[in-house]
Each structure stands twice: as structure tokens, then as C-alpha cells.
Amino acid sequence: MSKFTIGEDFYLDGRPFKILSGAIHYFRVPKASWYHSLYNLKALGFNTVETYVPWNRHESKEGEYDFSKNLDLDAFLTMAQELGLYAIVRPSPYICAEWEFGGLPAWLIEKQVKVRSDDPKFLAYVERYYKVLLPKLAKHQLEQGGNILMFQVENEYGSYGENKRYLRALKKLMEENGLSAPFFTSDGAWQATMRAGSLIDDDVLVTGNFGSKAKLNFARMRSFFQQHGKKWPLMSMEFWDGWFNRWKEPMIRRDPEELADSVMEVLEEGSINLYMFHGGTNFGFMNGASARRDRDLPQVTSYDYDAILDEAGNPSPKFYALQKRLKVAYPDLDYKEPLVKESMALADISLKRKVTLKDTLAHLSTSRESFYPQNMEALGQATGYIFYRTRLPRDHEEERLRVIDARDRIHVFLDDQKVATQYQDEIGADIMIKQETSDSRIDILVENMGRVTYGHKLEASTQSKGLGRGLMADLHFVGGWEQYPLPLDNIEKISYEGQWQEGLPSFYEFEFDCQSPKDTYIDLSSFGKGVVFINGYHLGRFWQVGPTLSLYLPGVLIKKGRNIITVFETEGIYHNRLSLKNHPIYKEMEGENL
């Protein structure tokens, strides 16, 4: 069996080894497309694939584990090995990755634990998860005939805390569950974060995360090593070749030639992991959000990242620019032409059926009643929407309503008429209503737009979603609630026998025939805000504010023959025709370069 060791250099079977790695998140790419992405990584000339492991996908419901289909980590690692790729795996409980709650499962919120700490309750949940996950990884270690070179203990912990007991507890759990390959931490490449986030005195390799100025960042890392008497190889564990995107912000782009220059600067002194090589898609409700003081900023569904491969997995101009430079500097690497998938377009897909949410609500969800409204997690729900309903007697000719502590975005309806839409920094503002009857119905649709992934708000106590403290009329809280969880994890239950009413959140069903499925993009520029499904598979969110106005539809999700696209739209903005494009659609916004 081969052996990977870390000394003054990386060594593979006793010979110096430069790690040329690219990040591909198996959970962001359909399983049927893994080969395409991994092949293109190998074709670039690289030798290693890196991936996070998202706890909240593998244990989305407490005690229930899923390693099937797109979550089949075992199959992903096996496929990479068959293609001649080594692997770096990052199974830390927290991953950031612009992923819902940084990979932490939402059910932790009700457990009153301190995440990313040595809180015994938190570590007990981690241990239970690791007893399932880590044996699956152990058998893929290099010394056991697999391809895993090393494992991450925690992710950018120096940008969050400095609890060494916690880090050591994670390392111990990994060792107790069969991991023996070298461990590493990854942090920003400056003194404060490396000091706080590393286990350098425990001989755990320190790696750096940055996207430019390699000489400066490596000099800082080398100085940190010297302070602790270490002579270690230098590695950028996340070399950011692009960046993620958020709603209402322009697309971020990076010049391919400048990126190639920066990568070659890294390789002059050390090893690299391109973050991302293939970004993929935040399918479903799995986008995260950036923490801000007044409002959090959710990321878009596309995780294209302006990476080496585009969202569909095809080579971007960066692939060719970088491969050209690598061929000159490292002519003996195994280069190949990349695989390129075809795409398709289809116009005028007709609307077949539509129904207002309130008229199919009883088919999609079961009412949970309580005097005070319950949050999403208390109702056993992690992501999606919740529909709240109560009655309001008329006390005044004009009534003042306020919604307190709801997260993240709300629509308020009075007797089936929308009276307000509010986001985080607006929630709590006055909503003035005039009731036409002595007893009115108030409905509130609350959307969880994604939990934060990074920073000071990454705490179980701050990331609860739903109605929060409730609704105030005049100066008192209103009681007597019906609550309908809407995770939208099974839309087969939608009934189109109900009514449709203009301006209300509704479902729209479109049908098309396809005899030769290929990748495509659903044009949603004529719709307001919501989510889309293809044959019941949740593709993710859309929003007309941009920067993206389309959703990537992988060809592997399209059936030969009849296909159903279902759109859930919340703003009352829709069109009776849909189109598929052979390219993504973006909203023109200023400042679209990195």
C-alpha cells in the first residue's frame, strides 16, 4: 500500500509530492455528473480532489442517516480513485461553504447546545454522527488501499474561536473512529487566525486559505511555523479562484489570465487546492447566508463561483488559461482534453394547471395548533416555508399590526388580500389594516431564506426561523394559531382541484416532452420569487432581483418523454409560458468584476 507523510515536504512513498487539488462537492453535483467533473479535474493535469462533508445533509433528521444517491460519498471516493485521483476530505462538523447553517443540522437549534465548542452535549451529537460517517472514510485511506491523503479537523476555526479543547476533542473522535491519515487545519493566512484555529503544537499541519498574493501569505505562514519550530510544506487549502454570489448584488468575475498568474505563484512555493474547481448548485433550500448586523444576505442557488468549470461542469476560460500555463511549467503531468456536455433550448412550454397555496394547503401540510406561534425547529422542520393562520376581531376602524422576530421574509394577508411584505430589517414595522368584517382571518407566510454560514451569528440561539414571538395587534400579542409546515419535500400531494386567485402565492405546473435530454437553464425572468421543481426534484430558489434570472437544470434530471416543471411563486408575478435556454440568464447590474 502507498504511504503519504508530511515532513519538510509532502511525501508519497518517500518521494516529494506536490498536491494539485481541486474542490468538487459531491452534494452539489448530481451523481450521474460526477464522472464528468472528476474526469475534467484529471484532464487539467491535477492529481487530487477535495470535498467537504455536510452533516446537515447526511443527518437532516436527528438519528436518520442518508448516504444514498447524490450523498453517496463512498461511490464518489471510489470513482475518484478509479480515475487516478487522490482525495482530501474535510469531515468537520462545520464546513461554511456558503451552505445552509455552515453544514450544521438545524435540529441542533432546539437542543440548547453551544456549537463549535467543547460543550459535552454538542460533542455527544458529533460523536454519534462520527460513529456512522468515519468508518465509511477510514476504509478509503491511502494505507488501506484507498485514495484519501489527509483529513481536516475543523474549518477556519480561527475566524470563530480559540477553544483548543474542542479541536483536540474532534481530533480524538476522528482517531477513535479509525482515521489515521495525517490531519490538518485551514485558516486565513495571518497570525491571529492561525494561532486561534490551529493545533500546531499537536503536530497538526497548518494550511492557509487565500485567493491572491501567495508570496506574502506563504511568508506569513512560514514565519508562524518558525515560531513553533516547524519546517512544513506550504499549502493553500482554499485558493479562491472566484467567489460566491448573493441576491441583489452583481455577478463576481475574475480575469482568467490573472487567475492563472496567481495559481502559478502558489505553485512556485507550495501545493494548492483550487476552491472551487467545480462549484455546482445549491439545490433545494441549501444556500446559506452572510451575516450582517441589520439583515443577513442569502446566497443565490447557483454555486457557479466563476470557477474552473462552470455550473454545468464544462470548462470555463480559466480551465484553458491555467492548463496552458501548467503545460509549460510541468510538462510531465497527465493532460487531456476536457469533456464538454451539450445543452439545449426549448421555447413556449405551456402552463397546464395552477392553484393558490391556500387552496391546496390541507393537501401539502397538516395543521399544528398552539396558542402562541411555534418556530420552524420546534415544529420539526429545517428549511422551507411555514404558513401561519389566526383570527382577528375588529376592535378599531383602523388596526395597527406588527410582526415580531420573524425570520426571514414574510407575506401578511388579511382575508386573502396581501397587506404587507417585509424582510429582516423591515419586520416589526407597522402594518395598518382596515377590516371589512367583525372577525377577520390573518395569514402569514414565512420563508426561511437560509441560515448564516460564517461569523458572529453562527449560534444555535440566533438561527431559529419562523414567526418568532408572534403578531401584535394594537399593544398585545395575538393568540390561537394554526401552523402549516411547508418543507416542500413532497410536492406530489399538490391538488390542482382548488381555486387560483391573482396576487397570492401559487403553484404553476408546466409540461414538456423531450426525446433527447441535455443540460439547460429555466428562464424565470418573468416570475417574481419562489422555487422550482423538475419531476418533483427541487432545483432551488429564484428571485427577479438578480443577479441570476435562471436555474440550471441538469440533463440527467430530465426524462425521455413527458416532464413536469412545477413553480411555486410567492409574489403574484407569473407567466403562462416557460422557456428553456442553452445558457444562464443574468440581470444586468453595475460592478460585475472582481
* Topology of the domain covering 372-479: Jelly Rolls (2.60.120)
Question: Is-contact 236 272, C-beta < 8 A?
Answer: yes
Cα 428 to Cα 167: distance, rounded to the nearest angstrom: 40
Band the pLDDT of 594: cuts 50, 70, 90. very low
pLDDT in the model for residue 589: 86
Output the 3-class SS for 528-587: CEEEEEECCEEEEEEECCCCECEEEECHHHCCCEEEEEEEEECCCCCCCEEEEECCCCEC
**Terminal CA-CA length for the chain:** 44
Nearest to 93 by CA among 126, 117, 59: 126
- Are domains 4-286+300-329 and 372-479 of this chain identical in fold? no
- pLDDT at 591 > cutoff 80: no
* Mean pLDDT over the full length of the chain: 97
Band the pLDDT of 295: cuts 50, 70, 90. confident
342 exposed, middle or buried (CB, 10 Å; 0-12, 13-18, 19+)?
Answer: exposed
For the entire predicted model, the pTM comes to 0.97
- Residues 6 or more apart whose CB falls under 8 angstroms from that of 579 comprise 345, 346, 347, 348, 349, 522, 523
pLDDT in the model for residue 433: 97
The per-residue pLDDT for range 515-534, each reduced to its tens digit, is: 999 999 999 999 999 999 99
Span 4-286+300-329: which CATH code? Answer: 3.20.20.80
- State whether residue 26 is helix, strand or coil: helix
Question: Is-contact 382 105, C-beta < 8 A?
Answer: yes
By DSSP bridging, strand 205-210 and strand 476-477 are unpaired
pLDDT in the model for residue 593: 43
The class (CATH top level) of 346-355+491-581 is mainly beta
How large a percentage of the chain has pLDDT more than 90? 97
- What does the DSSP 8-state code read for residue 170? H
The per-residue pLDDT for range 157-175, each reduced to its tens digit, is: 999 999 999 999 999 999 9
399 pairs with which residues across the strands? 433
Query: Which parts of 139-163 fold into alpha helices (H)?
Result: none
Band the pLDDT of 146: cuts 50, 70, 90. very high
- pLDDT at 592 > cutoff 60: no
Positions marked active-site = 156, 238
Region 364-391 average pLDDT: 97
- The full set of domain ranges for the chain reads 4-286+300-329, 346-355+491-581, 372-479
